[in-house]
Amino acid sequence: MVINLLNLFFPKVCLSCNNHLSDNERHICTSCRHQLPLTNFHLDPSNAVHKVMYGRVKLEQATALLHFSKKGIVQQLIHNLKYRGHQEIGQFLGEWLGEELKQYSEYLKVDIVVPVPLHKSKLKKRGYNQVEKFGKAIAKALNADYNPELLIKTSATKTQVFKDRFMRSSDTHPKFAITKSESLASKHILIVDDIITTGATLEACANTFSTIDGLKLSIATMAITD
């Protein structure tokens, strides 16, 4: 009864198209869910994420759940996640990708899931890291640890998503640091982020771990720009 009253006065809407959700729908309506441009990159060892990072970072695995295009359905979701406080989108996408990745033994070798951190000034302004729930859901699916404090961002940069490729590539690479390097030798770390564009941010994160003996790295993102 209480739930029905809440839905009457505060109806649940799709976080993509804003249409009302039915009782059996969660966060995204069935129509929008069927329209989500899945990459299936976890099935392709030579996928576009690997190609973006080729020659820059040695990776065990690399994947992205969705294709991102301007004014597309994924842009709307990411916008709602980052700027309107809808952290449930990160949870939803993390559970979806986690269910896919746990079917593959290589991803089950991941020891620690680490989110790309926000600079402390941006975290204070936004109030949350949009990758947090995404990373936690993947870690749970892979039975891995989730550590949001292992990596910190030491320089503030502006968002890359809405810039063209020339502007992205001309920006100074962000800088990161490891808070604790002990006990990381020979571990397999999965770095997670919302969107991969040029790969500069993920490259900078990965290079931060380059001095640790035997460390293996993989990356997973919610989306990759077309």
Residues 24 and 113 in one domain: no
Q: pTM of the predicted model, to two decimals?
A: 0.88
In which residue ranges of the chain is pLDDT below 70? 1-10, 157-173
Long-range Cβ contact pairs of 37-46 (< 8 A, separation 24 or more): 37/66, 37/67, 37/69, 37/72, 37/73, 37/74, 38/65, 38/66, 38/67, 39/63, 39/64, 39/65, 39/66, 39/67, 39/224, 41/224, 42/100, 42/101, 42/104, 42/107
pLDDT for res 8: 44
pLDDT for res 47: 96
Residue-wise pLDDT for 46-67, tens only, equals 999 999 999 999 999 999 999 9
pLDDT for res 191: 98
Residues 85 and 139 in one domain: yes
Residues 50 and 120 in one domain: yes
Residues 19 and 54 in one domain: no
Residues 8 and 105 in one domain: no
Residues 20 and 45 in one domain: no
Residues 30 and 41 in one domain: no
Residues 56 and 89 in one domain: yes
- The domain of 28 spans 1-35
